[in-house]
Amino acid sequence: MTIGEVKSILEAKVLVGEERMEEPVVTACGSDLMSDVLAFVKDRTVLITGLINPHVVRTSEMLDITCIVFSRGKLPSQEILEEAEESGITVMSTEMTTYTACGELYVHGLPGTKKRAGGEGA
């Protein structure tokens, strides 16, 4: 799936990274708990979250998460958007709840993360 397809499935508005719509994503994760994201996520992931603070971007940069979708129409501050821009991370906002957004991506064929970031199965 491409980031552009994620955008259209979630009827999302792109806030950063309009030029990266052709980039592929292979998995998705829905969480407001960055501790869990750090423990489970891997490369080329879409993160769907209702949590808005700069640590969402920093956590994503550490993990090579390429796309963040803020749910329930939440809009991050300019500071957060600038940090994402600098990190090369695409940011979108959808009116859907986290649950619905995850469900929509899942039924369209984007699976969840299965392995821990450290490589051990979990």
Partner 1 sequence: MAVLMEKVFPVEAGAYGTAGEASTTIKRTLKQLGVGAEVLRHVSVACYEVELNLVIHSLGGTLTLQVEPDKVTLISKDVGPGIPDIEKAMTEGFSTANEEARTLGFGAGMGLPNMKRNSTEFDIQSEVGVGTTITMSFALK
Stretch that binds partner 1, among 8-16, 20-28, 47-55, 96-104 (CB under 8 A): 47-55
Helices in the chain by DSSP H: which ranges? 3-9, 34-40, 54-63, 78-87, 98-107
Q: Single out the residue of 12, 16, 56, 105 in contact with partner 1 (rule: CB under 8 A).
A: 56
DSSP letters along 9-32, please? HTT-EEEE-GGGTT-B--EEEE-S
Cα of 48 vs its chain's centroid, Å: 5
Stretch that binds partner 1, among 18-26, 59-67, 70-78, 89-97 (CB under 8 A): 59-67
If the CB atoms of residues 1 and 51 are measured against partner 1, the closer one turns out to be 51
Q: Residue 93, interface with partner 1 (CB under 8 A)?
A: no
Q: Single out the residue of 5, 21, 26, 42 in contact with partner 1 (rule: CB under 8 A).
A: 42
* Torsion on CA atoms 35, 41, 47, 49, rounded to nearest 10: -20
Binding site residues, partner 1, CB under 8 A = 32-39, 42-43, 51, 53-56, 58-59, 61-64, 87, 116-120
